[in-house]
Amino acid sequence: MGKKTSWSYQTGEWGRTRVRAYDRGARGMYLEYGERSATGRKRVRAALGRLSQEQAKAAADALASKFRHAPTSTPERLTLGQLFDIYEARRNVRKTARTRAHDRRCFEMFRRAFGEERSPETLSVLDWDQFITDRRSGALAPIGARKRRVRNRIIESDLALLVAVLS
């Protein structure tokens, strides 16, 4: 004999107001929906207790309706400066002191090259190439360092950090 399939009910629009009610047997009914957070969408499960299927459907419909009529807010746009600060606070703590110092020097150069308030989505291949040209010629160097030409390996290291921050 095969496994008995459990009951579930879905309502709402995919990606926006989708809510699923389902039965977990002895654990009761649950609702599952996506909630937006600063890092993207997060799946949320909420226990309803021991309700009938009709009551669970009504709860799912009510929640989907609430999502549908909620005011839509535009997400806050991150700037390059904010991304650098977030990266330094969350990722750099795992690195050695020497690597953290290198990252701080690079962040300062990136701020001068691209701008503190710039949106990351606006970076282009032209900006990338200009950074390489300025860095190779010595026009762009860390503060306090003497202006000199640098080789490709240093530029590659700087750009690898930029890619990591943007990821």
* Mean pLDDT per 10-residue interval, the chain, length 167 residues: 72 82 88 75 85 90 84 76 92 90 93 93 94 92 84 93 92
pLDDT value of position 5: 61
Asked whether residue 87 falls in the same domain as residue 158, the answer is yes
Q: Which two tokens stand for residue 45?
A: 């499960």
Question: Cα(59)–Cα(129) distance, rounded to whole angstroms?
Answer: 55
The answer to whether residue 2 is domain-embedded is: no
- 61 is in which domain, residue-wise? 8-69
Rg value, the chain, Cα: 25
pLDDT value of position 82: 93
pTM above 0.75, yes or no: no
Asked whether residue 61 falls in the same domain as residue 85, the answer is no
Asked whether residue 97 falls in the same domain as residue 155, the answer is yes
Residue 84 CB coordination number (10 Å): 21
The answer to whether residue 153 is domain-embedded is: yes
Asked whether residue 158 falls in the same domain as residue 123, the answer is yes
Overall number of domains in the chain: 2
